[in-house]
Structure 1
Amino acid sequence: MNLRIETRTESRENASVEFIPGNNSMAYHFKLRDFSSKGLGIIVRKDSKVLKHINTGDVLDMRYYPDEATANPVSHRTQIKHISDPDPGKHQDHMLVGLLILE
């Protein structure tokens, strides 16, 4: 079920986000796929270990890279709004993770 509340547009070509979920010591880095006035989205493989460490409602400190990983990142507290299947036919074997920047 798609839980997005409004139309999304694609993000900048190399925009990405990095975070360390829960008590994990490993940072995960994902390309930002789309955005709206309400949040951002990333695509995660269904077999990714990160999905074992995140849940809807979690609030994490995330580092956002506006254009590429070498750019100066900006840190924001971010809530995971949903973890859901993408639209049918898109991103097979992946999950859509919706993010909401809180501050």
Structure 2
Amino acid sequence: MANGNWDDAVASDEASGDNLMVGLAQGERHRKILREQVLVALSGVLISAFRSGESSMDKVNAEIDKAIQSVISNSKKDGMELDDKLLDILADASGKMLGIAEEWHAVKIILT
């Protein structure tokens, strides 16, 4: 890879315009190959982190859902009014977790 710098290696052949264009095209082709190799390697390294992250997010969502169900069932059982403020907090947390999960998935798609 010309000591890691394709642009310098290509630019040194400015004497011939045709050769320069071929060199530039080759440089981009090599950058594309290296880009793909880096993304594949990164994907392989990160796959377990993506899985554990998804598992953790699933656990958090499940616990939030259980808490919401508990608030509702206790309210019915005790004949008390629902704690709207607590439900709002839990719903907000659940919504934020959904947003995080969507972003997490988008990053996973980019890197795999």
Q: Which structure has the highest helix share of the two?
A: 2
Highest CA radius of gyration, 1 or 2? 2
User: TM-score scaled by structure 1?
Assistant: 0.18
